[in-house]
Structure 1
Amino acid sequence: MNKPSPEFDSLLPPLTLNRRGFLTTSLATGFTLAAGPVMASTVVTTDTNGLTAGEVKIPVADGSIPAYRAAPAGKTNLGTILVVQEIFGVHEYMKDVCRRFAKLGYLAIAPELYARQGDPSKYTENAKLFAEIVNKVPDAQVMGDLDATAKWAAANGGDPKRLGITGFCWGGRIVWLYSAHNPALKAGVAWYGRLVGDKDAMKPAHPVDIAAKMHAPVLGLYGGEDAGIPVSTVDTMKAALANGSAAAKASSFVVYPKAPHAFHADYRPSYREQEAKDGWAKAQDWFKKYL
């Protein structure tokens, strides 16, 4: 794996690792409670026929983190897609996204990036989930865990020269940051991830701050009626990308005017079938182009 970009790393505080133990050692079963009632009539369920799928352990500097991996059975040298979780962690929806990519011929893997901070599946309130887990996850930790996941994938059937990333909500923001972090990345697809925001020790930079330094083009899929991500912030990001690297300039946005946040999450009331299917088709085309 190529050495991560020093330009981006300079924006992050040093990551001090210890062996105090991981609070999450295995993945959630089913859906995370804080996400609310499951809309069973719209849930997309992808089978494992023809796939190698299930939980794996990813070695990291201070131990190991659980991840869900899906890939065509018996195949190697596969294009790899890192799947970055919503705020709700790696639950059934994220696992199914991995299987969907595996059916397309990719090795898809979703690491549990909150493993040190706690188990998001046990929370019933979003406010407590944010306060006790999400807001305690440093960007530097996430970048390191994604690097470790990419390394694991390369040693277990993936082609390190064809590395992509996609993420949803919380993970959508991470897609942009990882494009500035890892020079080996070839493409990313960010689903309604925040682009601007307040900075602190955990989040010293946001996508708009690193737009000029991106190594891989990112497709941003956003909702015009997303109450938490105004379209004006998409315009701000477009301007930042226009003055950036070749990868930044090659990045693109699709804004669905009537879509809310989390319009791809088929298990939630926010799901919008038409926009979700169109975004999924565009994501496939993006990865076909660059991977």
Structure 2
Amino acid sequence: MHAAFEAAAGDRGRRLDVTIADRLPQYSRSRAAHLAGRGQVLVDRARRKPAFRLRPGQRVQVLAPPADPLLVGPEAIPLAVVHEDADVLVIDKPAGLTVHPAPGHPGGTLVNAVLARVPGISGIGGALRPGIVHRLDKDTSQLRTRTMGRTYLALVRGTVAADSGVIAAPVGRHPTHRTRMAVVPRGRAAVTAYRVRERLPGATLLECRLETGRTHQIRVHLLHIGHPILGDPVYGSAGVRELERQALHATRLEFLHPRTGNRLVFDAPLPGDIDALLDRLRREAAGPAPRREFGRPQSAAGRARKNAKSRARMAGTPRHPQR
């Protein structure tokens, strides 16, 4: 068995393949349908077809991996090691470094780097994710019992009015864009707490804490309240010249050491690109520059009107010729 879950109340009447794709994001819907069609998906120990409708409490077991197995080997990739002992390796993963190999991306990942640093870790955590236990899209028992904490900083578009708040909205696959997540009625329960750290021209710096760990949870929740993360190419905020990615940073990780039980706390400073953007916004806030708005591109008609006015001024003609 490669994966399993219990159907929740919100899964009542849903297709088996759709539910697998929602509950197990590593499986696409087409992969789930393919496996169910081949008899590799069990519901209460019985083989079921992709269109089977689920009832709450039923146990779903997937007997095959999300994709064909890949050969994973060690690669000499530099790692920013925050903490290392006989039981735990904590790494500050830079943006853009893929966690594990996948079809179309067979190497150059965090897993390849970890295998080179700790060869004996290869038997832990499965073939594709050896030793990887902290994943943004996994709901861990330590999160549920509050013994593990994850804190993020997010720079979002617009001014967030409330000083703090809690976003409790179910997250699941987008109904039409299957590579995206969204707030959907039958999604999985998701809770994000936030507080304002700083209000800036056209943007707000938020501190976010996860109480659940759904795929893209913070990005989806902040879009849901009308404040998408700056630079997010998927969830609706325009690009920013300082950033080549979304302005979301994992700033603190807390957990209990598996052997000693002592609480470990690790802080990661803001990366240079987000720090540079914050510096610019702070300078704008202190100076005479007008308040700016992010992520609201001008329409083609608006650009045409603006260009026409500019040409008219350059030619010395009135903006509104008399008829």
What's the TM-score once normalised by structure 1's chain length? 0.29
Q: Which protein is richer in helix relative to its size? A: 1
Greater relative contact order (CA < 8 Å, ≥ 6 in sequence): 1
| Structure number, greater radius of gyration | 2
